[in-house]
Amino acid sequence: MITILIDIAWILAAAAGIVALRSFLRNPSLKDARDMLASRLRVRIAFYVVCAYLGVGLIGQIKVPEKERIADRSLLDLSLQWIQKERTYSAPFASEVTGIRMLEADRELNRVKGIHILGTDINGVDVMHNVLRGASTALILSFGTALVAMPLGVLLGILAGWSGGKLDDLIQWLMSTVASIPWLLFVIAFLMVFGRGLFWICLAIGLTSWVGTARLIRGETLKQKSLDYITAARATGLSVPRILFRHLLPNVRYLIIIDLTLFCSSVILAESILTFIGIGVEQGTASWGAMLIESEKELMRSPAIWWVFAGSAFCGILPLVLSLNVLGDALRDALDPRAVSSR
């Protein structure tokens, strides 16, 4: 029952995302920016790559109720059900498993049953399947962390920029305080106290990383505050929350979008580092960081099992993070008039 509710929540979130994206793509005032983005091939590729990972992550999140009581079976697992499980390691596109010397005489047993584009791991599980499952962990982490950091950063940034005076001082003090604790140390301390797991990781990273957003929004609010439309809104007697959230927020929206894109890429990198240190996701969670740990052992074998490493690093982390970075830079070029071009 609860799984169905969570599924529905995910589908609704996806629908909301698609609606938001459509309104962005259809918005007439953004036509120039959109043309500029679409005219660059690598931005288009990056956009499709991010969409593909989002899609895979989403269907990896939707759990399918199963009669055979296999826990945690997702739509992704169901759609990749046809991939055969092997006896043990097999290289990409190999016809025989590697690593079993004793059974060399028995060719029939060593034969690989299906085609694995990234080979199989020690248990004979398809590596590509694991990489795709990692996408949904990356999705939860980025969105969960953004859900903590973005509202905090935007709210405090707007409040500080708008109010000035004592409240501004207080919020600025909070920002400097949080910024002066190195994020990795804070996250480690936080996870040591509260335990591992996706929820706590999101909360820990979110609580340290809102400062950048807040500073950005504060600066922009300070600038917008003196513009005519705000003066006009004040003169018509609108309430302050209404001015802030209906008039000011839409005008700093582009900053939030740029920040969010680059934010997600840094969260995915942070996950792999945290998991590599040993305080990241719990064991058994399909994540790219966990695959990197696994590949540390596999690379040292003889002959080296390189495909687990290649799969997690170059089919999981790199394409998604690179696309997010390219997209974020392109959005900044297109939407932020002040930014020095990073072309």
Partner 1 sequence: MLTYIIRRIIYTLPIWIGVYGITFALFHMRDPIAIARVHMPQAPDAALKAWVRNNNLHLPRFVNLPADADTVLVDGKKHPELASKSIFYSQFFLGFREIITFDFGVDKNRQPISESIAERAPYSLSVMLPAFLITVTLSVVMSLFLAYFRETGLDVGAVLITVAMMSIPVPVYLLLCNWGFGKYLKLVPVYNHVLLPILVSVLAGLGGQVRFYRTVFLEQIEQDYIRTARAKGVSESGILFKHVLPNSLIPILTSVVMSLPFLITGSLILEHFFGIPGMGDMMYTAIYSQDFQVIKVMVYLGAFLYMIGALLTDISYILADPRVVLE
Residues that bind partner 1 (CB under 8 A): 42, 173-174, 176-182, 184-186, 188-190, 192-195, 265, 269, 272-273, 276-279, 289, 292, 295-296, 299-300, 304, 306, 309, 313, 317-318, 321-322, 325-326, 329, 340-343
CB of 183 to partner 1, least distance (A): 9
Q: Which helix (H) or strand (E) holds 179?
A: helix 165-180
Residue type for position 283: Q
CB of 131 to partner 1, least distance (A): 14
**Residue closer to partner 1 (CB basis): 57 or 280:** 280
CA distance 7 to 63: 7
**Residue closer to partner 1 (CB basis): 213 or 275:** 275
Q: With 0-12 CB in 10 A as exposed, 13-18 as middle and 19+ as buried, what is 337? A: exposed
**Residue closer to partner 1 (CB basis): 32 or 296:** 296
Tell the residue number behind the tokens 């660059």, with chain if given.
40
Nearest to 230 by CA among 249, 214, 213, 217: 249
Nearest to 251 by CA among 227, 277, 280, 284: 227
CB of 114 to partner 1, least distance (A): 28
Pull the structure tokens for residue 79: 């759609």
Pull the structure tokens for residue 225: 């505050």
**Residue closer to partner 1 (CB basis): 74 or 275:** 275
Sign of the alpha-carbon dihedral angle for 136, 137, 139, 143? positive
CB of 89 to partner 1, least distance (A): 16
Of how many residues is the chain composed? 343
**Residue closer to partner 1 (CB basis): 96 or 294:** 294
**Residue closer to partner 1 (CB basis): 117 or 192:** 192
Backbone phi and psi for residue 285, each to the nearest 5 degrees, phi listed first: -75, 130
Bond from prior residue into 303 cis (ω within 30 degrees of 0): yes
CB of 62 to partner 1, least distance (A): 28
CB of 126 to partner 1, least distance (A): 21
